[in-house]
């Protein structure tokens, strides 16, 4: 098991989700994020979230969500429940790559 | 100018840099990050940084760096200077996608 995985065992994790946003779908993608946040923040283990927007208009990842959860299990349970029950309409062409992380180095 | 870009005008920005790490190059990539951090943290406008490692062994982005800078200009000057003077050897096959962001939504 990697150091990061071991560290995550039961500890907080950081969700980093990078969004590849189709042309003209930025606001729709932000609205999609808001609906997901409104659901996820009610779920057990949720700690915080912040949606970041690129300051460059041509970035590969125009939006990046960075959220903190009390555990990997809490996040997985909440997002599975969202998929099954929240009924949030997807945005055509919006592609995201979520991952769970722990901090291994700082300054 | 986008809201994010306007917000960044002279304000702090968040560097989010996702790393696609070749097989067997994880430690070399972490060492590369450390050398870059050691240089960048001495530069004007640097605020903080944290290297995140995926808890899943097969993530597309095994490493993600999240750093805060006093301004976009400060970061750009520091990274240009690093490229010109620091002489940090690149890691074969390591691909990264840096971007500067501002927070547009939280909870």
For the segment A15-55, what is each residue's pLDDT rounded down to a tens digit? Answer: 999 999 999 999 999 999 999 999 999 999 999 999 999 99
Reported ipTM: the value is 0.91
Given the structure tokens 């490229």, which residue do they identify? B83
In A, which residues are within 8 Å of B52 by CB distance?
A: 14, 16, 101-104
Inter-chain residue contact B53 with A99, CB threshold 8 Å: no
Model confidence band, residue A9 (pLDDT cutoffs 50, 70, 90): low
Inter-chain residue contact B100 with A55, CB threshold 8 Å: yes
Catalogue all structural domains in chain B, each as residue range(s) with its CATH number.
17-86 (3.30.70.100)
Model confidence band, residue B11 (pLDDT cutoffs 50, 70, 90): confident
Q: Which of A30, A50, A59 has the CB atom closest to B99's CB atom?
A: A59
Judge contact between B61 and B69, C-beta under 8 A: no
Query: Is a pLDDT exceeding 70 seen at residue A63?
Result: yes
Task: List B53's β-bridge partners, or say none.
Answer: A102, B63
Query: Is a pLDDT exceeding 80 seen at residue A78?
Result: yes
Distance from CA of B48 to the nearest CA of A (A): 7
Query: Is a pLDDT exceeding 80 seen at residue A7?
Result: no
Report the residue of B21, B30, B105, B106 to disrupt the A interface, i.e. the one with the largest count of A CBs within 10 Å: B105
How many angstroms separate the CA atoms of A37 and A39, rounded?
Answer: 5
Query: Is a pLDDT exceeding 70 seen at residue B70?
Result: yes
B80 touching A (Cβ < 8 Å): no
B83 touching A (Cβ < 8 Å): no
State the pLDDT at residue B52.
98
State the pLDDT at residue B63.
98
B21 touching A (Cβ < 8 Å): no
- Based on its alpha-carbon atoms, the radius of gyration of chain A, rounded to whole angstroms, reads 15
Dig out the tokens for A46 from the structure. Answer: 């949720």
């Amino acid at each position: 098991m990697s150091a990061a995985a071991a560290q995550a065992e039961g500890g907080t994790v950081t969700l980093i989700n990078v969004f590849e946003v189709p042309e003209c779908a930025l606001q729709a993608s932000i609205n999609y994020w808001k609906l997901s946040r409104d659901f996820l923040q009610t779920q057990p283990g949720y700690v915080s979230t912040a949606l970041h927007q690129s300051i460059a208009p041509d970035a590969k990842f125009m939006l990046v969500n960075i959220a903190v959860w009390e555990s990997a299990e809490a996040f997985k349970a909440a997002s599975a429940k969202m998929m099954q029950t929240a009924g949030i309409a997807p945005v055509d062409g919006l592609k995201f790559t979520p991952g769970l992380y722990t901090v291994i180095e700082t300054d």
